[in-house]
Amino acid sequence: MDNRGRITIPSEIRKKLRLKKGTTLLIEVREKMIILKPLRKISAKDLLGIAGEEEVSIEEIEKSLSYTD
C-alpha cells in the first residue's frame, strides 16, 4: 500500500478476473479482512435465452432493464 492508501492488484490476478482500468470494485470488510468484488454490468444479450423462448425484442429487454450501451 502506498502513502495515499492505494494498492496494486498483481497482473496475473487482474487477467484471471478480467479486471480492466475503470472496473468498479465493491469493498467489504469482514473481521480483519478486506474483500474486493468486481461489479459487472449485465446487458440484455447476457440474459437472452435463460428463460426459454420468448417473443421479446432486445430493445424491449434493454428498456425494461434501463440498459444503455
Q: Which residue has the higher pLDDT, 58 or 37?
A: 37
Domain ranges of the chain: 11-65
What is the percent of the chain with per-residue pLDDT over 70, rounded to a whole number?
90
Overall average pLDDT of the 23-47 stretch: 87
Q: Residue 32 pLDDT more than 70?
A: yes
Average pLDDT, the chain: 84
Task: Quote the cell numbers at residue 10.
Answer: 498483481
Report pLDDT digits (tens) over 42-69. 777 777 777 667 677 888 888 888 755 5
- Beta bridge partners, 27, equal 36
